[in-house]
């Protein structure tokens, strides 16, 4: 099957149950809840890919050099790695998914360089935000104050959400500033630049949306924006 299928199935697995149980518990499908938990599911996938970035950094550097020699700089190979057929074993392998970074490094060489800001902000995100992202999806679906041993109030969950999502927004703004300042967009095809812009816009817009919702949770100790 295509790598894209496995990635999509993973995101669905970490999103659909939250939407289903939110409807079962609260009797409504809330658009804000759907959008934010979908973003969280994607971020969980990205966190795991970021683990691959750190664990297989040497392989990424070597594969990037081979791709650059074969396809040139500032251009992506065809078919893209997400549209290659892979086995279930590959789909469960950090090593396989490191290809995401060696390929993306053709547009931004930061990810083939473990001394770069891009490398460290993304590997750091993979470690720091994985567990809180899952916890936010759980807390957006169930009232954690009613469940032991978690016992988190809405206000406490809101504080966590503000901090984690500010970190993601801040890191993305700095990363995109680095991308622009170093003019990695030069000699890059328009659709490829658009891919970078859209990806960064997602990690700005949705953390900002989460921060707004979480700030309301801090102020009111309630999850009204996620319940009605």
Q: How confident is the prediction along the chain (228 residues), in pLDDT tens digits per residue?
A: 999 999 999 999 999 999 999 999 999 999 999 999 999 999 999 999 999 999 999 999 999 999 999 888 888 888 889 999 999 999 999 999 999 999 999 999 999 999 998 999 999 999 999 999 999 999 999 988 877 566 789 999 999 999 999 999 999 999 999 999 988 999 888 998 999 999 999 999 999 999 999 999 999 999 999 988
pLDDT on residue 148 = 58
State the CB neighbour count (10 A cutoff) for residue 26.
Answer: 17
Q: Where are the domains of the chain?
A: 3-227
Q: What is the 3-state secondary structure (H, E, C) of the chain?
A: CEHHHHHHHHHHHCCHHHHHHHHHHHCCCCHHHHHHHHHHHHHHHHHHHHHHHHHCHHHHHHHHHHHHHHHCCCCCCCCCHHHCECCHHHHCCHHHHCHHHHHHCCCCHHHHCCCCHHHHHHHHHHHHCHHHHHHHHHHHHCCHHHCCCCCCCHHHHHHHHHHHHHHHHHHHHHHHHHHHHCCCCCCCCHHHHHHHHHHHHHHHHHHHHHHHHHHHHHHHCCCHHHHC
Q: What pLDDT was estimated at residue 225?
A: 92
**How high is the pLDDT of residue 76?**
87
pTM: 0.94
């Amino acid at each position: 099957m295509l790598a894209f299928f496995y990635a999509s199935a993973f995101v669905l697995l970490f999103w659909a149950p939250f939407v289903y149980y939110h409807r079962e518990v609260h009797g409504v499908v809330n658009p804000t809840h759907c959008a934010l938990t979908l973003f969280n599911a994607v971020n969980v996938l990205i966190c795991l890919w970021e683990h691959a970035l750190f664990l297989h950094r040497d392989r990424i550097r070597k594969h990037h050099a081979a791709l650059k020699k074969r396809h040139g700089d500032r251009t992506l190979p065809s078919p893209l790695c997400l549209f290659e057929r892979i086995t279930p074993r590959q789909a469960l392998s950090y090593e396989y998914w490191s290809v995401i970074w060696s390929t993306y490094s053709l547009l931004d060489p930061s990810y083939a360089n473990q001394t770069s800001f891009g490398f460290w902000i993304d590997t750091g995100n993979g470690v720091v935000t994985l567990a809180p992202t899952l916890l936010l999806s759980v807390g957006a679906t169930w009232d954690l104050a009613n469940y032991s041993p978690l016992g988190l109030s809405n206000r406490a969950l809101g504080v966590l959400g503000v901090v984690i999502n500010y970190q993601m927004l801040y890191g993305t703004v700095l990363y995109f500033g680095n991308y622009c300042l170093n003019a990695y967009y030069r000699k890059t095809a328009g659709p490829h630049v658009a891919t970078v812009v859209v990806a960064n816009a997602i990690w700005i817009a949705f953390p900002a949306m989460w921060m707004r919702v979480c700030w309301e949770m801090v102020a009111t100790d309630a999850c009204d924006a996620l319940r009605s």
